[in-house]
Chains A and B, each alone.
Chain A
Amino acid sequence: MSLKVQVVSAEREVWTGEATMVVARTEEGEIGILTGHVPTLAVLGAGEVRVEAPGGGVTAQVDGGFLSVEHDTVLVVAERATVGERASS
């Protein structure tokens, strides 16, 4: 089982793929999402969203926005979002 992750900015879909874990910074602190997470809507603060995948993963820079989780699908929605590849760890 893995998470389906989609990073969406206002003008286009930035990144989409599979992941084992998503770590994001909400207004109140960090939130980590694994499979089977409760459906959630969280307001994000500006910063990084880490998407962990077996072969490395990516880091998305967002300027706020929100994150929604349901049925192992994670949507990261921000007005501006950029995604950078990360070397496998």
Chain B
Amino acid sequence: MAGQQRVYKQRIGSTKSMQQIFRAMELIATSRITKARQAVAASTPYSRAITRAVSAVATYSDADHPLTTERAEVRRSAVLVITSDRGMAGAYSASVLREAERLVVRLREEGVEPVLYVVGRKGSAYYRFRRRDVAQEWAGFSESPRFDDAREIGETLVEQFVRSSSPEDGGAPGVDEIHVVSTQFVSMVTQVPQVNRLLPLEVVEGVEPPSGDELLPLYEFEPSPDRVLDALLPRYIASRIHNALLQAAASEHAARQRAMKTAGDNAEDLVKMYTRLANQARQAAITQEITEIVGGADALAGASRS
């Protein structure tokens, strides 16, 4: 009986030490959410400026750019999946991957070949385990993405997009569309996985279209609208990806904080349950000992009387 008590004691000890780890991770995640949200806020002026400029060029000039035109036939479509590097974040990576899976199935039904690009070790592991081909993967910055990371991803994707997907052109085929599957940070308790189409661009936000009577263009372009658009669009893509990465990072920390809080609460419940069981076992052991002593004393008394 003492053996069982010892087992309970051990369980209580290990659960308590895990609980401390959960608590520490929860605190770390909480402090990092603030930092991640500040990073999102700090990058807003840049993305707002660039979005405004892009919509200005698109509205005030009739510049036709390869990045804004829809392809007549869509054969291959890039899917950028943004997951985390580490686990312990509840369903964070799993829900992004589920959303990505849904998109892949939809694309296949439309007769489009999906090409996967993955950010984060969790996503890479998921596709490697299922032996699915991944065109390129990036890892190591899911918790605090820098702009350079976003630019690298953006350059890779734009290069694939500019290349045609038609087989008669020879060489490695490119893609006709680029989708991004990432998690949007809505609030501390709500993070939504979502799919956005990055390319071809749909520039809608911002500047109002010029009214009919206005003859002069509102902006002067230096050196020319085409060149300005050429310079702006890759930056715009990078800025969009940067924003997606930052939102994903904030969501990851929020998801981890919640998961760790739940784990800590569960650990507390377990400790409570094991403490009760240990007490029960101890009581049982004492009761048995008393029964044995009483039984022994009775037997001795009976023996001496006869």
Which of A's residues lie within 8 Å of B, judged by CB? Answer: 6, 8-13, 26-28, 31, 38-43, 64-66, 68, 70, 75, 77, 79
Contacts and interface: CB of A to CB of B under 8 A. Distances in A.
Contacts of B151: 79
Interface of B: 39, 42-43, 45-46, 49-50, 52-53, 56-57, 146-147, 150-151, 218-223, 227-228, 231-232, 235, 238-239, 242
A43 B42 CA distance: 23
Given A43-B228, A43-B231, A9 B46 contact: yes
B223 A38 contact: no
A43 B227 contact: yes
A5 B238 CA distance: 24
A10 B221 contact: no
Q: Is the contact region of chain A dominated by helix, strand, or loop, or is it mixed?
A: strand
30 contacts: A8-B46, A8-B49, A10-B46, A10-B239, A10-B242, A11-B46, A11-B146, A12-B42, A12-B43, A12-B45, A27-B227, A38-B220, A39-B218, A39-B219, A39-B220, A40-B220, A40-B221, A41-B57, A41-B220, A41-B222, A42-B221, A42-B222, A43-B222, A43-B231, A66-B228, A68-B49, A68-B219, A75-B49, A77-B49, A79-B235
B45 A11 contact: no
B43 A11 contact: yes
Contacts of B52: 68
A77 B46 contact: yes
Nearest to B42: A12
A42 B223 CA distance: 7
A3 to B, nearest CB: 16
Contacts of A10: 43, 46, 147, 150, 238-239, 242
A77 B242 CA distance: 15
Given A8-B46, A41-B56, 13 more contacts: A9-B46, A10-B46, A12-B45, A13-B42, A26-B222, A27-B222, A27-B227, A41-B220, A42-B221, A65-B235, A68-B52, A68-B53, A77-B49
A26 B228 CA distance: 11
**Which of A8, A9, A38, A40 is the most central at the interface, judged by chain B CB atoms within 10 Å of its CB?**
A8
A64 B150 CA distance: 17
Contacts of A11: 39, 42-43, 46, 146-147
Contact of A41 (B39, B45, B221): B221
B45 A66 contact: no
Contacts of A9: 46
B53 A77 contact: yes
Contacts of A77: 46, 49-50, 53
B72 to A, nearest CB: 30
Nearest to A79: B147
A77 B222 CA distance: 15
* The 9 residue pairs across chains A and B that have the minimum distance between CB atoms: A42-B222, A10-B147, A12-B42, A43-B231, A40-B220, A8-B45, A13-B45, A77-B49, A39-B219
Nearest to B207: A70
